[in-house]
Amino acid sequence: MLKTTKHLPSESGAVKSADKHFVEQGLKQLNLQEKGKETQAAKLVADQLLKKLISKADLSSGVLNFLQNIWRPVLCNVYLSKGESSRSWKNIKKVSSVLIWTLSAKSTEKEKRMLLTTLPSLKHALSRGMERIQVDTAQQEAVFQMMEIEHEKIISQSGKDSTVGFDVTTASAEKNTDESQGDINRDDDDLMKLVAQACAVDEESAMAVDHNAKIQNMKIGTRVNFDVSGTIDNIGELYWKSNLTGRTVFVNTQGQNAATMNIRELVSELSAGRAKILES
Amino acid sequence: MNGQVNTVGQTINDQTFERGIALSGPHALGVNPELGLIAMAEGDSQAKDTPAHKAIEVLLDDIQLNLSPDGGRTTIPMADSLTTFCLRESVDNINDYLFSNMDQWQPRESYKGVGLAAMLPHGKRLSYTITGDTGCFLFSDNQLIDLNASADKTTRLGLDSRIKPEVSEVEFHDGDILIMISADALNCTGSDFIRVTLSRFGDNLERVLRQINTRTKRNGLEHRPDLILHCS
């Protein structure tokens, strides 16, 4: 008995150690299983959201590719790290909705204005989303170039295609509720701007549409001052343009290339007041 | 040319030119008889809204828009002639466009870029650019000048945004003839045959076309060659 008793502590310790190890392993496995389940759940939720959104618009293969290979992991990341009831998840869903809305056909000038004002904030929100999964700058730039072309197509469309049911009223209401709750983080702030801009047809957006129309009709030889507060050296003459791609080339008074930009970039310069079309 | 036909073109499937564009097997052909522009794009596609078709569509639109006589440019001319400048910008534009839309071209796996050849006479000069292996010749004073002889035939548009295809100029005289012919057809004719044919029948482009057709058929080409001829 004594012998047995003597050995009990060490045997008991070994057993306890083995038990502890066993329990730890079990817990790890359970954790892994839980994580696996959570990951599966996140993928499922992301897939359901994307499926719903994709069904609302006729999207190009480039956009579908982005949604599947880049945006889906972003959604999963937010769902897993912040949870389904988090504000971040709600925000990322709204950003996704707004993105799809911007890529659907616009039948009215009002919608096109809304689209134009939404784009800068949307780009910022998408960029922050992609940063979550370490999408590098070059890849982000490729995404934005692809989106830019898609948005230009939407803006230049004159058809009466159907639009998606983006509930602007709901978005506004959510905005107000969120604001009343306070503690708005940076993501929320971005989204608030995004939704607010998507909902508002303000003077600025009307100006952007106006600039867009002016540029579309701009004749070769039109002069643009690229630094309104600067000197005459910053005046460029439209020397070359492409109607199909929107690319423009300006030269300076020496005939050297002064600027190569697409119509969206030029609209942005004009809207920001950094450039001005000079009357001939 | 007896004031008759200045530009003749044919495709392997006898497609007619619609708004200056004809779609052939792997090629899209483009002409603007008014400006004298002839172009051929080689890709993997045979339908509208494909890389080769888009390349030609953008080129024709760019050149028409920027070289139309109502332009209001006031700046001092640059080192390039206006035509070369416009052609260079258009080719850069096409490269950017094809590259930035790369994911759109289907099937994506087989997209290998676009070979584009364009020739545009202006006054006593000819501006031209060639990427790919399309045969481009200038027949002048009974000499056949291979404009693609020193080009890198492996470069293609729409695969790298950084490439800057060369746009060159050579002298061009009244009565000179431009020939643009697909690589497979050129292999079946040879440049010597083209030179002799142009020497004999250069005043009748349609006859030159028939001669080349007969030759390529005899040498085993199963279809009529994609070919454009232009005389100033």
CATH no. for residue B97? 3.60.40.10
What one-letter code names the amino acid at B204?
Answer: N
pLDDT at site A207: 60
Q: Which of B50, B58, B6 is nearest to B24 (CA)?
A: B50
| Chain B residues close to A254, C-beta within 8 Å | 75-76
Q: DSSP secondary-structure letter at B102? A: G
Separation of CA A126 from chain center: 2
- Positive/negative CA dihedral, A138, A139, A142, A144: negative
Which of chain A's residues have a Cβ under 8 Å away from the Cβ of B111? Answer: none
CB contact under 8 A, B65 and A241: yes
Number of domains forming the structure of chain B: 1
Minimum distance, in Å, between the CA of residue B38 and any CA atom of chain A: 19
Taking CB atoms and an 8 Å limit, are A145 and B77 in contact across chains? no
pLDDT of B115: 93
Cross-chain Cβ contact A146/B71 below 8 Å: no
**SS3 for B115?**
strand
Binary contact (A255, B89; C-beta < 8 A): no
Residues 6+ apart with CB under 8 A from A151: A102, A103, A115, A119, A264
pTM over 0.90: no
Three-class SS of residue B174? coil
Q: A146–B61: do the CB atoms touch at under 8 Å?
A: no
pLDDT tens digits, one per residue of B78-97: 778 889 999 999 999 999 99
Q: Is B93 within 8 Å of chain A by CB?
A: yes
Residue A97 is predicted with a pLDDT of 87
Closest-CA distance of chain A to residue B60, Å: 10
Cβ-Cβ contacts under 8 Å, A61 against chain B: 103-104, 106, 108
- The interface residues of chain A toward chain B in range 150-209, judged by CB-CB distance below 8 A, are none
Question: Residue B197 is encoded by which pair of tokens?
Answer: 């044919």
pLDDT for the residue A123:
84
Q: Residue A242 and residue B58: Cβ atoms within 8 Å?
A: yes
DSSP state, residue B107:
S
In a domain, B97, yes or no: yes
Say what the pLDDT of residue A225 is: 87
Check CB contact under 8 Å for A249 and B89. yes
Residue B27 clears pLDDT 90, i.e. is over it: no
Do B103 and A254 lie within an 8 Å CB cutoff? no
The number of angstroms, rounded, from the C-alpha of A15 to the middle of its chain's C-alpha atoms is 56
Position B181 in a domain: yes
Q: pLDDT at residue B55 above 80?
A: yes
pLDDT computed for residue B223 by the predictor: 84
Range of the domain at B180: 7-69+77-231
Q: How far apart are CA B49 and CA B62, in angstroms?
A: 17
What's the confidence (pLDDT) of residue A197?
52
* Per-position b or e across B121-132, b if 16+ CB within 10 A of its CB: bbeeebbbbbbb
The answer to whether the CB atoms of B66 and A241 lie below 8 A apart is yes
Euclidean distance between CA atoms B104 and B89, whole angstroms: 23
Of the candidates A237, A243, A280, the beta carbon closest to that of B73 is on: A237
Q: List strands edge to edge, sheet with B21-23.
A: B21-23, B27-32, B37-42, B115-122, B125-130, B168-171
Provide the pLDDT for residue A280: 57
What are the extents of the domains in chain A? 19-201, 211-278
Average pLDDT, chain B: 86
Calculate the alpha carbon distances from B232 to A81, B42, B79 in Å.
Answer: 69, 25, 25
Report CB contact under 8 Å: B65, A243.
yes
Nearest to A244 among B58, B70, B85 (CB): B58
Q: For chain A, say whether B80 makes contact (Cβ under 8 Å).
A: no
A241 inside 8 A of chain B by CB: yes
Report the topology of domain A211-278: SH3 type barrels. (2.30.30)
DSSP-assigned letter for residue B150: T
| Separation of alpha carbons B152 and A255, rounded Å | 30
Q: How far is CA B184 from CA B11, B25, B29, B190, B201, in A?
A: 13, 12, 15, 10, 23
CA pair distance A167, A173, nearest whole angstrom: 10
Give a yes or no: residue B2 inside a domain. no
SS3 assignment, position A92 = helix
Whether residue B101 is contained in a domain is answered as: yes
Task: Indicate which of A242, A243, A261, A265 best probes the interface with B, i.e. most B CBs within 10 Å of its own CB.
Answer: A242
Cα separation, B128 vs B191, whole angstroms: 19
pLDDT at B48 over 70: no
Per residue in B136-187, pLDDT (tens digit) is 999 999 999 999 988 778 889 999 989 999 999 999 999 999 999 999 899 8
State how far the Cα of A234 lies from the Cα of A226, in Å rounded to an integer.
5
Interface of B with A in 106-145 (CB under 8 A): 106, 108
- Return the pLDDT at A63: 92
The per-residue pLDDT string of chain A (280 residues; one tens digit each, 9 = 90 and over) reads 333 333 444 445 555 566 666 667 776 776 766 667 788 888 999 999 999 888 878 899 999 999 999 999 999 988 888 888 887 888 888 889 889 888 888 888 777 877 887 887 788 888 888 888 888 888 888 999 899 888 888 888 765 443 343 433 333 334 433 433 333 344 445 544 555 554 443 344 456 666 666 777 788 888 888 876 665 568 888 999 998 888 999 988 888 888 898 887 888 888 778 888 886 5
Is residue B121 very low, low, confident or very high in pLDDT (cuts 50, 70, 90)?
very high
Residue B1 lies in a domain: no
Q: Which helix or strand (DSSP H or E) is residue B32 part of?
A: strand B27-32
ipTM surpassing 0.90: no
Place of tokens 């170039």: A145
**A133: closest CA among A221, A196, A66?**
A66
Average pLDDT over residues B109-136: 92
In whole angstroms, give the CA distance from residue A87 to residue A68. Answer: 23
